[in-house]
Amino acid sequence: MECITRTALGSFEETVGRLKELIVARGLTLFAVIEHDVAAATAGLKMRPCKVMVFGSPEAGAPVMIASPLAALDLPLKLLVWQDASGKTRVSHHVVSELQHRHGLIGEQAAPLHALEELACAVTGTGGGAAFECRDGQGPGSRAKRPGSAATTSEMVDGGLPRSRRMSEVTRS
């Protein structure tokens, strides 16, 4: 599964706060904030800030799931806000066209999925050109490069360290 990652201009906390405000302002419901960093700390692990914002609207999501019941595995929508090794705040989400294709959605059926791109662009103040892709579900550790992007995810996030090196950097507090 591919994803798009954008760089936010503000701090991690500012980005999370702005995203919460944008979700509510667009009439969507913020169902949950999954605090992976907090959960890691309870397990005695140190993790950079990392939260998944789970949001949506029954009025928008239910028709998608009626058209394709398996879309319920991808709904409600999710945006990942995380901090990379250099301290930059990133916002990531699945590629909307891939979600649309996976669930066989056509035309207006897929319209609710575009909230991912719209919110990610709004909270980061970016457009498509400031984003890069990560492939195969590898998220921030991917080495995929999007045409026109400045660098691969690996270069931007981890200074080019191979995945095995990053995994060895997990530390206990």
**Tens digits of residue pLDDT in 114-125:** 999 999 999 999
Mean pLDDT check: name the lowest of 30-39, 102-111, 150-159: 150-159
Per cent of the chain over pLDDT 70 is 73
Distance CA 122, CA 4 (A): 14
Q: pTM value?
A: 0.76
- The DSSP-derived string for 111-169 is GGGGHHHHHHHHHHT--GGGEEEE-TT-GGG-----TT-SS-HHHHHHTT--HHHHHHT
pLDDT in tens, 61-111: 999 999 999 999 999 999 999 999 999 999 999 999 999 999 999 989 999
Backbone φ and ψ of 126, nearest 5°: -120, 170
Q: What is the DSSP letter of 33?
A: E
Architecture label for domain 7-128: 2-Layer Sandwich (3.30)
Question: Which amino acid is it at 172?
Answer: R
Query: Which SS3 state, helix, strand or coil, does residue 23 take?
Result: helix
Please name which of 103, 116, 164, 119 lies closest in space to residue 138, comparing C-alpha atoms: 164
pLDDT surpasses 70 at 48: yes
Average pLDDT, the chain: 80
**Domain segments of the chain as ranges:** 7-128
